[in-house]
Amino acid sequence: MMKTLTFALLALSSTSINVFANSTISANEMTLNKDGQVTFTRAEVGIEERQGVLVNTATTYYSPKVWINGNLKPFFVGSTNGNQFCEERGHNQEISGSTITCGEDESAYGNFDWYNQLWTMKSTGSKNQCYQLYATIKCQ
């Protein structure tokens, strides 16, 4: 079963647009699609008025994960991984503002293989350090 969330904004007059200007729309329930490569638990969409038109300034995804061999996995922080996640969600790139969490020793997490164009598992080893994973990712 696929769940979807749709946003609709109705501007009744020029003053009603200002109510939404420079706002963030938050959603707690988004589409989780096993056919896609990436997913998340929650998203916040930044909206700003530019020349009388509402535009999406950035989207922040919480608990981003990737599908690897039928399982959802957190993934390593890095420009290739970040940009790939954003592109798969329909954005151009990752932008400043993402946050990290630490992965554990002797675990494996998602890593995008640019040459083969697929998400793969990459082991952390056991160096007793923080293995940087995305807690949130901000896309534009």
Tell me the pLDDT tens digit for each residue of 59-99: 999 999 999 999 999 999 999 999 999 999 999 999 999 99
Residue 114's SS3 state is coil
Mean pLDDT of the chain: 81
Q: Which of 3-12, 14-23, 91-100 is the most confident on average?
A: 91-100
Q: How many alpha carbons lie under 13 Å from residue 121 in its C-beta half-sphere?
A: 12
Q: Residue 128: what pLDDT? A: 86
pTM score of the predicted model: 0.74
